[in-house]
Structures are given as structure tokens and as C-alpha cells.
Amino acid sequence: MDTSAAQDRAHERARERFVAPLAAAVGAEAAELGRVAEEVALAYHESGQEPDFEVRTADFATDPFFVCADRYWRRRFADSPSAHTALACGRWIAAHTTPGCRSAVREQWTLGNGFINRAHIETREQLDDAARAVTGDPGAADLALTVLLYHAGKLRANFAFDELNAVLTTSALAVAAGRRRDDPVVLALRAFAAFGSRALTAEHARDLLERAWSAPQRSRHVVDVCLNGLAFSVPFDGQGALLRRLAQEAVDAHPENHMFRFRLATAHHLCADHDEALAHVDAALALLADHGTFSRDLLLEQYLVKRDAIQEARLRAAREAEHEARWRRQEAANADLERAMHRSSVRAVELVAVFTSAIAFAVGSLQVTLSGTLKLRDRLWLLTALGAGLSLFALLIVGGTWLITRRRTRR
């Protein structure tokens, strides 16, 4: 009886120390909510206790309990970025989250902490040990999925496309995950790996992307991974247009998401639509300023690098357009000059033909007039025939020249 009372008092003190401040932070401003959640998470971590409250949402803006648990597990992963920590996290998720938010919490913590701890990559043997550790557990598939997503988050952050594909399809963890391998987030990660791999085809990657994108239970993380894979894909025909269409859908569904806006800027950049790309990357920067995420500095650097690339491409396109216009003007001027020279040559030929005929007529008429014993009437007929013949010769030269040059001009 005394032991039970002591446990009740200890539980009450723990509740007053940990849970009460979180409950009081409900409805607080984001900065205050985050401060309280961080303090409670640190207290849990230093005491060696895991949070013992229930998480009902995956909302960073309004749920201090979720934010506290997120900060706690971030510290746990930082201390030991291993598959065993992922297993412990998976068991906590199974015990302390409601079914409605469980998948969102799992994806947030595994992919997010995988990105943070991307420098620590476990061997296939260590992953196999983790797979054996969940064997026989009632929630074995979910636990295996948690560890699988955590390791996949590391490989994704390191752009290890082929290794990521192998882990997701052939590892013992993938086998242990069973039917959960068909979850949209796993399909999205497989699409990411296929888009970046030079051993897999773009058609295979697009099939996986379509399956993940069209899934009824598609989450925000699934959208992010799909767009990420398209943005970093080995180039293929239609890449920019496909990314632009899907990123626009994501922005329409999540207008306040800076990452989706950034992906849309990347799509317009790939499509050489530099003004739209610049507008969307500036919108992403503005949205990022309103989000106090731990990775804001890293994302800010990434967005600014992309903005510089868009600006450079925009200036280069403007210079190329100017050079193109100048080249076309020069080409038109050269064509005008060529036509003028051609006309001059034709007129010169015609003029030579006329003058030749005139000179021939003059010489011939003088010979007829000044020599011979023909009568005047015969001389006149002879001069007329000579003039007609030379005129016909000149007309044939002029007409033939006109006909030839007319056909060339048409071509």
C-alpha cells in the first residue's frame, strides 16, 4: 500500500514537472510554445525518462506535446544515431500516439532525424541485427518500417540512390516490414532512388512516383520525397514539365509550405521560365523567414544558391536573346545586300545584252550602208532584218535572265 502511494506521489510530481507546463502552453504563441516544449524535453532527457504523455497530432504550430516529444527524440538520436534508437522510438510511437497521427509522426521523426544524422551510416549487418530484434514482436512490421525509414532518410540525404534502392527492396528490414513496403512513403523513397540511379530507367521511376502520388493516404512527406526525387533526377525528357505540374499541385494544396514553393521554382528553372522561377524562389524565401525550423540556415543557403543560379540563367538568356536578335538583324541586312547585288548583276547582264545588240546593229548597218551595190529598198529591208534579229537576241537574253532569276528568287 505504501509502495503504491509512493508511486502515485512520484507520478504526480512528474506530471507537475513535465506535463503541466505543456498543458499550460496550449494556445500560446509559437515561440513561447517552442521554448516550453524544449525545456520539458531537456528535463525528460536529463532525467533518463521517456515522455509518458499521449501525442494526438503532428502539428508543430499548435501542439506542445508533439513538439516536446519531437525535441526529446531528436536528443536521443543525437546521442545515439543507431537502429536501436530507432527501435526504441518505434516502440514509443506505438504506445504513445493515436492511430490518426501515427504515420505522420513516424515519417517526421524517421526522415527528419535520418537527415540530421546522415553522417552515421550503419552496415548491412547492423541493419540485419535490427531486423532480427523485431522478430516475434506483435508490431514487428511497424517497428521494421520505422528503422527502415530512418536508415532510408540517411541514404536519401546522402543521395546514395543505388544503396537506397537495395535497402528498400532486398534488405532483411524490408522483408520484416511485410505489407508496409507498399506504403506511399516507401514507394516515394523507391521513386527517389530510381530517379537518381543510372542503373534504373526513368519509366520505372515514374511508375513508382505515380503509385505514391495517387495513393489516397498520401502525406506531406510523400509529396516532399516525390518532388525531391524529380528535382535531383538523372535528366530525362519531360522532367521539368512533370515537376512543374506536380509542384504546382503541392503548392495549391499547401500554399504556406516553403519547400514546395522552392520545388516549383526549380521546375520553372528547368523549363527555362526564369521570371516565374525567380518569383517562386523569392516566395519560398519569404515563407522560410516565418518558420523557425532547426534547419532554416541550411535551407536558406540552399534557396539563395538556387536564386543565384536562376538570376545567372536569366541574365544569360537575356544576353543570348540580344545576340539572337542582333544576328537576325545582320542576317536580314546580308540578305538585303545579296538581293541588291543580285539585281545589279541581272541589270548589268541585261544592259550588256542591249548595248551589244546596239553596237552590232550599228556596225552591221554601216557596212550595209557604206559598201555594196544593193538598192536602197534592199538595204532598208536588210537593215530591218538585222535590227529585228539583234532585238530578238537582246529580248531572249533579257527574258532568259529574268526567268532564271525569278525561279531562284522564289526558292
pLDDT at 138 over 90: no
Q: Which residue has the higher pLDDT, 156 or 355?
A: 156
- Residues 268 and 235: their CA atoms lie apart, in Å, by 15
Q: What's the pLDDT score for residue 337?
A: 73
pLDDT digits (tens, 9 = 90+) for 77-128: 999 999 999 999 999 999 999 999 999 999 999 999 999 999 999 998 999 9
Residue 256 covered by a domain: no
Residue 406 covered by a domain: yes
**What is the total residue count of the chain?**
411
Residue 183 covered by a domain: no
- Residues 22 and 76: their CA atoms lie apart, in Å, by 20
Q: What's the pLDDT score for residue 199?
A: 95
Which residue in this structure is represented by grid cell 525567380? 278
**Cα 57 → chain centroid:** 30
Confidence of residue 61 (pLDDT cuts 50, 70, 90): confident
Question: What total number of domains does the chain contain?
Answer: 1
- Give the residue numbers spanning the domain of 362: 342-410
Q: What's the pLDDT score for residue 135?
A: 87
pLDDT at 1 over 60: no
pLDDT digits (tens, 9 = 90+) for 329-343: 777 777 777 776 666
Residue 363 covered by a domain: yes
Q: Which residue has the higher pLDDT, 242 or 394?
A: 242
Contact yes or no for 74/116 (Cβ under 8 A): yes
Residue 367 covered by a domain: yes
Average pLDDT over residues 301-312: 93
Give which of 180, 166, 264, 167 is closest to 224, Cα–Cα: 264
Which residues are within 8 A (CB) of 28 and not within 5 positions of it... i.e. 6 or more apart?
36, 64
pTM of the shown model: 0.77
Residue 346 covered by a domain: yes
Contact yes or no for 192/223 (Cβ under 8 A): no
pLDDT at 296 over 60: yes
**Cα 75 → chain centroid:** 32
Which residues are within 8 A (CB) of 101 and not within 5 positions of it... i.e. 6 or more apart?
55, 56, 57, 58, 66
Confidence of residue 363 (pLDDT cuts 50, 70, 90): low
Give which of 221, 142, 152 is closest to 190, Cα–Cα: 152
Residue 52 covered by a domain: no
Residue 16 covered by a domain: no
Q: What's the pLDDT score for residue 315?
A: 86
